[in-house]
C-alpha cells in the first residue's frame, strides 16, 4: 500500500500542530465558536447529539494492521471502546472530547492517518472497489488513480472552497462495486480502441434530496490526461455551481440544469486551455505511485485446493460461508474474504477495539498485513490462501465477524441515524437490527438470494437508501418516526434510483412491509431470478398492491 | 381571539465545549449532565431568562449548540421530542453506554 513520503508526513504533522494551537486558542477563548467551527470541521471533528464525532479518512478503504491497531487504541483510550465504519470507507468515533483531539491527531499522524478533508466543501476521501488489485474481472488497479487523485486534491488551493462537498469513486472493473455512477465524479478504467487503458468519466451523480445517476461525459480519456481533465471539470463546477442555495449546490444540479451536453462542452472548452499547461502527471510519477501497489509475493498454488474442498464437503456452515463471504481472486489458490460487520441484531459497521485488534492479527497471519473497508460497511482480507480459509473462518467466528450473509437480506447498510447524528430525523440502526432479526434464519436469507437493503435516517442519504434494492428513509412526521420505502434502486453498473412505493410506515410496520416485499418477490420470481431482476421485470405495482392491501 | 397552541414547559440544553457532552442548565446557574437537574421555565419571563443564560454561557465559552427545548407537561422532566429524549439518555442501541435522566443516587 501507499507509504507517506517526506512531503505527506510534513503536511500532516504541520496540520496536526496547527490544530493543536487552534484548540488551545479556542479553549482560552481567543477563538470564537464561529471562527473555530470551520477549523475543527477541516480536521473531521463534528458535533453530534452526545459528543464530538471524529471522522478519520481511510483512503480508498485501505488499512495496514499498524493503522488498524492504532484505531483500536484510539477507540479504547479516547472513545468508548468502539468505532463505526462508514459508507465512505472511513471510520468514525462517536465520543470524542475536544480537549483530547490534538493528542488523537498526533497519534494518527504516527501511522499516516488524519481527518483532513473528511468534512467541508472540498474533495473528500476517494473511494474505490474494495477488491482492487485482486478481482479477476479487473482491468487495472483503481488504487493507483485513487492515490493520484488523493495527492492532487489534498490541500488543492483552488478546490478548498467549492460550492459543496465533492466525492470521487473509482472502479477498475466493468462490474461496478464502487457505485461510481452515484458520485460527483465516477471513474471507470476502460480499454481504448488500441487496447490501451484509459478512463471513462461520469459526472453529476449523487444521493441526498435529489438522487441523480451520473452522466457519462467522456467515454475514453487517455491515461496521461487525467488531472487536466479533472481540473477542467472542477473549474467548471467551481465557477458555475450554485453557492446561493445549499440544496442546489452539488455538481449534479449544475449538470442537470445545463444539460450533460452543454456541461460537457464547457468542460472540454476549459480543458482545451488547461491541457497546454503541465498539470498532468508525468508517466514516471504514475509508475512511482503504481509501485506502492505491487502485488505481494504470492505462492504458486495449484487449484482446486484439496484441503479447502474437503473442509467444505465436511462442514455445511463453512461451505455456506464460503459461498457468501469468500470471493474469487485473480491468483489461483487464493481468495478474498469479507468479514461481516452485520451480525444478526448487531449494529452495521460497528467494531470494538478488541475486534479491530483481532482483525489486525488475522490480517497479519493470513493476508499480508492489509485490511480493506467496504462502502457496504464490512471489512475485507483480500489475499487469503484457500488452504487457510477454514482456520480463518473459525477465528472470525470467535470475534463475531463470520456471519454468512454477504450480499443477503441482513447485509444492511444503515447510517448512524437519530441514535447519534444531529442531522437525522429518525433512527436507522434499530430498523436494520429488527429486519436482520426477522430474517435471522440464514437458510431463509440464502433462499431469498442477493438483496440489498439500505437505510438512511434523513434525506441526506448517508445510508444510500436511493441505491437500495429495498431502500428505507426515516422521516419525522409531527414528532413521530415514519419510514418511506423505495424499491428497485441499484448501485452497480446498472445503477438506478429506487422508486417510492407510497405513504410511509411506523417502525413496527416497516419490518412487516420489508417481509411482505420479500414474500411478494418469492411469489413472482422466475427460477434463479434475483430480487432486482424480478422488480425490473414486473415493476412496482405488484409490490405496492400487496403492501397496501387492506390498509 | 385566535386560539394559541398550548405552551409546553421548557428547559435549556447545550453541549459542553470541552467534552461535547449533552448538558442542562440548572437553577443554580450551573450545567448538569442530567436533564432532571434542569431549571424548568413555565412563563415567557422565565424563557427569556433561559435565553439570556444560553447567550451568556456561549459567550463565556462554556457551551455550544445551546437550545431551549420542550418537555412534557407536569410531573418529572422528560423531553417532549424523541431527538431530545435520545440526547438526554443516549443511543437507544447502546443502552450499556447510556445515562439516566436523573442522577443515580
Q: Do A50 and B90 touch (CB under 8 A)?
A: yes
Q: Do B22 and A49 touch (CB under 8 A)?
A: yes
Confidence check: pLDDT of A369 > 70 = yes
Q: Do B92 and A430 touch (CB under 8 A)?
A: yes
Confidence check: pLDDT of A357 > 90 = yes
Parallel/antiparallel/unpaired status of strands A379-385 and A185-191: unpaired
Mean pLDDT of A472-496: 97
Cα(A175)–Cα(A192) distance, integer angstroms: 18
- Residue B62 in contact with partner chain A when CB distance is under 8 A: no
Residue of A nearest to B82 (CA): A479
Contacts of A420 in chain B (CB under 8 A): 91
Evaluate whether A82 touches A352 at the Cβ level (below 8 Å): yes
Evaluate whether A267 touches A236 at the Cβ level (below 8 Å): yes
Residue of B nearest to A98 (CA): B18
Between the alpha carbon of residue A55 and those of residues A87, A109, A119, A419, the distances in Å are 12, 14, 8, 17
Q: Do A419 and B94 touch (CB under 8 A)?
A: yes
Sign of dihedral through CA atoms A514, A519, A522, A524? Answer: negative
Q: Nearest C-alpha of chain A: how many angstroms from B98?
A: 10
Binning pLDDT at 50, 70 and 90, where does residue A216 land? very high
Between the alpha carbon of residue A39 and those of residues A33, A35, A236, the distances in Å are 10, 7, 27
Residue environment code for A94-120, b if the CB has 16+ CB neighbours within 10 A, otherwise e: bbbbbbbbbbbbebbbebbbbbbbbbb
Residue, of B3 and A257, whose pLDDT is higher: A257
Cα A354 → chain centroid: 23
Q: Do A49 and B86 touch (CB under 8 A)?
A: yes
Cell reading at A503:
405513504
What are the residues whose beta carbons fall under 8 Å from the beta carbon of A538, sequence distance 6 or more? A524
ipTM: 0.94
Between the alpha carbon of residue A364 and those of residues A69, A381, B11, the distances in Å are 11, 10, 52
Q: Nearest C-alpha of chain B: how many angstroms from A50?
A: 5
- What is the per-residue pLDDT across A31-54, written as a single tens digit (0 to 9) for each? 999 999 999 999 999 999 999 999
User: Using CB atoms, which residue from A47, A418, A420 is nearest to B82?
Assistant: A418
Confidence check: pLDDT of A448 > 90 = yes
Confidence check: pLDDT of B104 > 80 = no
Q: Nearest C-alpha of chain B: how many angstroms from A270?
A: 43
At residue B102, the pLDDT reads 85
What are the residues whose beta carbons fall under 8 Å from the beta carbon of A148, sequence distance 6 or more? A226, A227, A281, A286, A289
Contacts of B17 in chain A (CB under 8 A): 26-27, 33, 98
Contacts of A99 in chain B (CB under 8 A): 18-19
At residue B6, the pLDDT reads 64
Cα A266 → chain centroid: 30
Q: Do A419 and B80 touch (CB under 8 A)?
A: no
Binning pLDDT at 50, 70 and 90, where does residue B1 land? very low
Cα(A43)–Cα(A101) distance, integer angstroms: 10
% residues pLDDT > 70 (chain A): 100
- What is the per-residue pLDDT across A143-198, written as a single tens digit (0 to 9) for each? 999 999 999 999 999 999 999 999 999 999 999 999 999 999 999 999 999 999 99
Binning pLDDT at 50, 70 and 90, where does residue A551 land? confident
Average pLDDT score, chain A: 97
Evaluate whether A209 touches A167 at the Cβ level (below 8 Å): no
Mean pLDDT of B75-95: 95
Question: Which of B5, B17, B70 to probe the A interface (max A CBs under 10 A)?
Answer: B17
% residues pLDDT > 90 (chain A): 98
Residue of B nearest to A32 (CA): B61
- Residue B98 in contact with partner chain A when CB distance is under 8 A: no
Evaluate whether B13 touches B69 at the Cβ level (below 8 Å): yes
Q: Nearest C-alpha of chain A: how many angstroms from B54?
A: 14
At residue B74, the pLDDT reads 82
Mean pLDDT of A89-109: 97
- Residue B81 in contact with partner chain A when CB distance is under 8 A: yes
At residue A315, the pLDDT reads 98
Q: Do B18 and A29 touch (CB under 8 A)?
A: no
Q: Nearest Cα to B13, choosing from B64, B78, B77?
A: B64
- Residue B34 in contact with partner chain A when CB distance is under 8 A: no
At residue B3, the pLDDT reads 43
Binning pLDDT at 50, 70 and 90, where does residue A483 land? very high
Mean pLDDT of B14-43: 97
At residue B103, the pLDDT reads 79
pTM over 0.95: yes
Confidence check: pLDDT of B63 > 80 = yes
Bridge-partner residues for A355, per DSSP?
none
Cα(A277)–Cα(A481) distance, integer angstroms: 54
Amino acid at each position: 500500500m501507499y507509504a507517506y513520503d517526506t512531503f505527506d508526513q510534513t503536511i500532516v504533522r504541520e496540520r496536526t500542530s496547527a490544530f493543536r494551537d487552534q484548540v488551545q486558542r479556542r479553549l482560552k477563548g481567543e477563538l470564537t465558536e464561529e471562527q473555530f467551527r470551520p477549523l475543527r470541521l477541516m480536521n473531521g471533528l463534528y458535533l453530534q447529539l452526545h459528543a464530538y464525532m471524529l471522522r478519520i479518512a481511510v483512503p480508498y478503504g485501505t488499512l495496514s494492521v499498524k493503522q488498524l491497531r492504532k484505531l483500536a487504541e484510539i477507540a479504547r483510550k479516547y472513545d468508548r471502546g468502539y468505532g463505526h465504519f462508514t459508507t465512505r470507507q472511513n471510520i468514525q468515533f462517536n465520543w470524542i472530547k475536544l480537549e483530547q483531539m490534538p493528542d488523537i491527531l498526533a497519534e494518527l499522524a504516527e501511522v499516516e492517518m488524519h481527518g483532513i478533508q473528511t468534512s467541508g466543501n472540498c474533495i473528500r476521501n476517494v473511494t474505490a472497489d474494495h477488491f482492487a488489485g485482486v478481482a479477476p474481472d479487473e482491468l487495472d488497479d483503481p488504487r493507483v488513480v485513487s492515490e493520484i487523485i488523493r495527492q492532487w486534491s489534498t490541500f488543492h488551493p483552488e478546490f478548498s472552497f467549492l460550492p459543496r462537498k465533492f466525492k470521487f469513486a473509482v472502479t477498475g472493473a466493468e462490474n461496478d462495486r464502487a457505485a461510481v455512477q452515484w458520485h460527483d465524479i465516477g471513474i471507470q478504467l476502460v480499454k481504448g480502441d488500441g487496447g490501451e487503458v484509459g478512463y471513462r468519466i461520469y459526472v453529476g451523480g449523487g444521493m441526498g434530496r435529489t438522487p441523480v445517476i451520473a452522466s457519462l461525459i467522456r467515454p475514453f480519456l487517455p491515461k496521461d490526461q487525467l488531472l487536466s481533465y479533472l481540473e477542467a471539470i472542477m473549474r467548471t463546477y467551481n465557477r458555475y455551481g450554485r453557492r446561493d442555495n445549499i440544496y442546489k449546490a452539488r455538481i449534479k444540479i449544475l449538470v442537470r440544469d445545463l444539460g450533460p451536453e452543454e456541461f460537457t462542452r464547457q468542460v472540454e472548452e476549459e480543458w482545451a486551455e488547461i491541457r497546454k499547461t503541465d498539470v498532468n502527471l508525468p508517466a514516471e510519477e504514475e509508475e512511482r505511485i503504481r509501485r506502492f501497489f505491487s502485488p505481494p509475493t504470492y505462492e504458486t498454488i495449484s487449484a482446486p485446493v484439496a484441503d479447502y474442498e474437503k473442509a467444505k464437503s465436511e462442514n455445511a456452515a463453512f461451505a455456506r460461508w464460503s459461498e457468501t463471504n469468500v470471493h474469487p481472486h485473480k491468483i489461483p489458490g487464493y481468495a478474498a474474504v469479507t468479514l461481516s460487520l452485520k451480525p444478526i441484531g448487531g449494529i452495521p459497521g460497528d467494531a470494538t477495539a478488541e475486534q479491530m485488534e483481532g482483525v489486525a492479527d488475522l490480517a497479519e497471519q493470513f493476508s499480508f498485513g492489509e485490511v480493506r473497508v467496504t462502502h457496504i460497511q464490512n471489512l475485507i482480507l483480500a489475499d487469503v490462501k484457500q488452504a487457510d480459509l477454514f482456520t480463518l473462518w473459525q477465528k472470525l467466528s470467535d470475534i463475531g465477524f463470520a456471519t454468512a450473509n454477504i450480499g443477503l437480506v441482513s447485509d444492511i447498510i444503515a447510517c448512524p441515524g437519530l441514535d447519534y447524528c444531529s442531522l437525522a430525523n429518525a433512527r436507522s440502526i434499530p430498523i436494520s437490527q429488527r429486519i436482520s432479526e426477522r430474517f435471522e434464519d440464514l437458510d431463509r436469507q440464502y433462499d431469498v438470494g442477493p438483496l440489498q437493503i439500505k437505510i438512511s435516517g434523513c434525506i441526506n442519504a448517508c445510508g444510500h437508501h436511493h441505491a437500495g434494492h429495498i431502500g428505507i428513509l426515516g422521516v419525522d412526521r409531527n414528532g413521530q418516526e415514519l419510514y418511506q420505502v423505495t424499491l428497485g434502486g441499484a448501485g452497480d453498473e446498472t445503477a438506478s434510483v429506487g422508486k417510492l412505493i407510497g405513504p410511509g410506515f411506523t417502525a413496527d410496520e416497516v419490518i412487516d412491509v420489508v417481509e411482505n416485499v420479500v414474500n411478494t418477490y418469492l411469489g413472482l420470481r422466475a427460477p434463479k431470478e434475483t430480487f432486482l431482476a424480478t422488480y425490473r421485470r414486473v415493476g412496482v405495482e405488484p409490490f405496492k398492491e400487496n403492501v397496501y392491501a387492506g390498509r | 381571539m385566535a386560539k394559541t397552541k398550548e405552551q409546553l414547559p421548557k428547559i435549556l440544553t447545550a453541549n459542553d465545549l470541552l467534552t461535547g457532552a449533552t448538558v442542562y442548565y440548572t437553577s443554580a446557574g450551573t450545567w448538569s449532565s442530567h436533564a432532571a437537574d434542569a431549571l424548568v421555565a413555565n412563563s415567557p419571563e422565565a424563557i427569556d431568562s433561559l435565553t439570556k443564560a444560553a447567550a451568556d454561557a456561549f459567550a463565556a465559552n462554556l457551551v455550544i449548540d445551546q437550545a431551549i427545548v420542550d418537555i412534557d407537561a407536569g410531573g418529572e422532566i422528560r423531553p417532549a421530542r424523541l431527538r431530545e429524549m435520545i440526547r438526554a439518555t443516549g443511543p437507544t442501541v447502546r443502552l450499556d453506554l447510556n445515562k439516566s435522566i436523573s442522577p443515580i443516587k
